[in-house]
Amino acid sequence: MSDDCGAEPGSPLVRTLRRRTRVGLVSGGLGAYWPQFPGLLERLQESARFVTERFEEMGCEVVDAGFVSDPLESARAAEQLRRADCDLVMTFLTTYLTASMVLPIAQRTHTPVLVIDLQPTEAMDHPNTGTGEWLAYCGQCPLPEVASVFRRSGIPFRSVSGHLRDENAWARIGRWISAAGVRGALRHGRHGLMGHLYPGMLDVSTDMTLVSTQLGGHVEVLEFDDLRVRVAAVTDGETADRVALAREVFTLDGSVDEDDLAWAARVSVGLDRLVADFALDSLAYYHRGLEGEIHERLGAGMILGASLLTARGVPMAGEYELRTSLAMLIADTMGAGGSFTELQALNFRDRVVEMGHDGPAHLAISAKEPLLRGLGVYHGKRGWGVSVEFDVTHGPVTTFGIGQEADGSFVLIASEGAVVPGPLLEIGNTTSRVDFGFDPGEWTDAWSATGIGHHWALCTGHRAKDFRAAADLLGIPFRSVTGPNAL
């Protein structure tokens, strides 16, 4: 799949490569037709090859279980796909087939299934269409049958109907493949949690067991000492190289102290080694520290390195915000960026919500070259050093986060708006002005009522449908704010 938030060509920030999305495919039709209508099977198999090629063009790893004609062949295909451990299984209805040929695939693979029916062209050539030719167009014929059996079996049903060159249908299929990429990233992900909870932020506290049971993957508990020993091993030459990288990626404000920049660069190199040594796909962190000792200095020196890693596809969130680092990973997997964000102020004159954060940010979605600003104090945190400042790319955006209900269940939450130009804070924070299309106070009330928590990810593009699809494949609820009274 494409990733439109990757580094630009020639950028010094090389994206981290993730496991490719693994899609299973089984195509089928009713075997009784083959002796009756010579050439029909070959035509349908040609359509199946076209579909496989389109999936491969999307960057997927395709596990093609072949073309099935009866329930026995379907059972064998289901076993092959079960062993393949796919992120999503596609069942391609090329013509009529019985639900008994589809049900084993959904039951035995233990993987979400998307049923697709793509007829050869946008319409039949009726004067030149006989029964054999018509049967190539009736892949949608068994769709209600399959949907009914899925419902009776307690299996979630999803489908896309169209024709082979129907770009609207392929866009809808692409949304499900993107969601499958999220499912794969979470199932196979390793998520670091380093330090301790910001005192008093009860909403931030997240049960690690629930992350693994509901979303998948592994939460690795780290100590700031794991970072300390790696930073201590960084050489002066490595630090100088990282300072040079910072100067290439950022505009440096005159407030940046050279010693603070060198320390942030040294921490950045150590942070890279921490991520590599523990094979992390994301990290949430916080440490308070005392009186300038080493752990306080490490916590204060994280912003540069965390931002560089986030831009490379390893999201970092401060304030021990595990659910937001996971939301950032989901957004980044979809190519939507995802920058660590909270409310900053409401502008009722311009009808915008100002949001952003101090600390790590997703550099790949900055409206222009990001700025490094020196700060003598971090508000609400100990320490001092350099911080990132920018505005997210102007245009469509989506706020996105993971909430948690009273029973412990997670919910994906989103709201679509647009980043618009205007005056911004210049205090070493990311800050964006977001217009949600209605009163900013009413939006804030509706957004807070979702159960979102203090932080979320600010993502490029209108992504609510994408996040809804991801929630569907993950088997968790989705909630959207589209107006003052909409949840």
Task: Using the 3D structure, point to which of 161, 186, 211 is the last residue of a domain.
Answer: 186
Give the pLDDT score at 137.
Answer: 96
pLDDT tens digits, 194-247:
999 888 888 888 999 999 999 999 999 999 999 999 999 999 999 999 999 999
H helix runs in 118-203, sequence order: 131-135, 143-153, 167-187
- Name the average pLDDT for the chain: 92
pLDDT tens digits, 360-403:
889 999 988 998 988 755 555 555 578 888 889 999 999 999 99
Residue 6 clears pLDDT 80, i.e. is over it: no
Domain-located, residue 7: no
β-pairing verdict for 190-195 and 218-222: parallel
Query: How many domains are there within the chain?
Result: 2
In angstroms, rounded to a whole number, what is the distance separating the alpha carbons of residues 479 and 415?
9
Domain-located, residue 17: no
* Strand (E) or helix (H) holding 96: none
Instruction: Tell me, yes or no, whether 69 and 204 share the same domain.
Output: no
Domain-located, residue 2: no
The answer to whether the beta carbons of residues 205 and 198 sit under 8 Å apart is no
Domain-located, residue 4: no
Domain-located, residue 15: no
β-pairing verdict for 352-357 and 218-222: unpaired
Number of other CB atoms surrounding residue 336 within 10 Å: 27
Residue 409 clears pLDDT 50, i.e. is over it: yes
Number of other CB atoms surrounding residue 448 within 10 Å: 12
Task: Using the 3D structure, point to which of 186, 201, 227 is the last residue of a domain.
Answer: 186
Instruction: Tell me, yes or no, whether 123 and 217 share the same domain.
Output: no
The answer to whether the beta carbons of residues 374 and 252 sit under 8 Å apart is no
Domain-located, residue 3: no
Instruction: Tell me, yes or no, whether 339 and 214 share the same domain.
Output: yes
In angstroms, rounded to a whole number, what is the distance separating the alpha carbons of residues 337 and 361?
10
Q: Any idea what the CATH number is for the domain that residue 211 is in?
A: 3.20.14
H helix runs in 85-218, sequence order: 103-108, 131-135, 143-153, 167-187, 208-210
The answer to whether the beta carbons of residues 269 and 237 sit under 8 Å apart is no
Domain-located, residue 8: no
Instruction: Tell me, yes or no, whether 140 and 121 share the same domain.
Output: yes
For 204, the token pair is 């931030």
Structural domain that includes position 439: 188-480
In angstroms, rounded to a whole number, what is the distance separating the alpha carbons of residues 324 and 314?
13
Instruction: Tell me, yes or no, whether 328 and 476 share the same domain.
Output: yes
Q: pLDDT category, 144, cuts 50, 70, 90? A: very high
pLDDT tens digits, 432-475:
999 999 999 999 999 999 999 999 999 999 999 999 999 999 99
pLDDT tens digits, 167-187:
999 999 999 999 999 999 999
Give the pLDDT score at 367.
Answer: 87
Give backbone dihedrals phi and psi of 61, rounded to 5 degrees, phi first.
Answer: -90, 115
Instruction: Tell me, yes or no, whether 344 and 322 share the same domain.
Output: yes
Instruction: Tell me, yes or no, whether 92 and 228 share the same domain.
Output: no
Cα-to-chain-centroid distance, residue 315: 11
Task: Give residue 318's identity as a one-letter amino acid code.
Answer: G
Instruction: Tell me, yes or no, whether 113 and 133 share the same domain.
Output: yes
pTM of the model: 0.93
**Helices 224-232 and 258-277, packing angle to 10 deg:** 110
What distances in angstroms separate CA 339 from CA 57, 87, 201, 431, one per listed residue? 29, 26, 20, 10
Instruction: Tell me, yes or no, whether 92 and 129 share the same domain.
Output: yes
In angstroms, rounded to a whole number, what is the distance separating the alpha carbons of residues 180 and 240?
41
pLDDT tens digits, 288-347:
888 888 998 998 899 999 999 999 999 999 999 999 999 999 999 999 999 999 999 999
Q: Any idea what the CATH number is for the domain that residue 152 is in?
A: 3.40.50.10940
The answer to whether the beta carbons of residues 239 and 232 sit under 8 Å apart is no
Mean pLDDT over 473-482 rounds to: 96
In angstroms, rounded to a whole number, what is the distance separating the alpha carbons of residues 486 and 436?
13
The burial of 468, by beta-carbon neighbours within 10 Å (0-12 exposed, 13-18 middle, 19 or more buried), is given as middle
Instruction: Tell me, yes or no, whether 256 and 384 share the same domain.
Output: yes
Instruction: Tell me, yes or no, whether 169 and 214 share the same domain.
Output: no
Domain-located, residue 12: no
Instruction: Tell me, yes or no, whether 182 and 203 share the same domain.
Output: no
The answer to whether the beta carbons of residues 441 and 345 sit under 8 Å apart is no
In angstroms, rounded to a whole number, what is the distance separating the alpha carbons of residues 203 and 379?
19
Give the pLDDT score at 274.
Answer: 98
Task: Using the 3D structure, point to which of 186, 220, 245 is the last residue of a domain.
Answer: 186
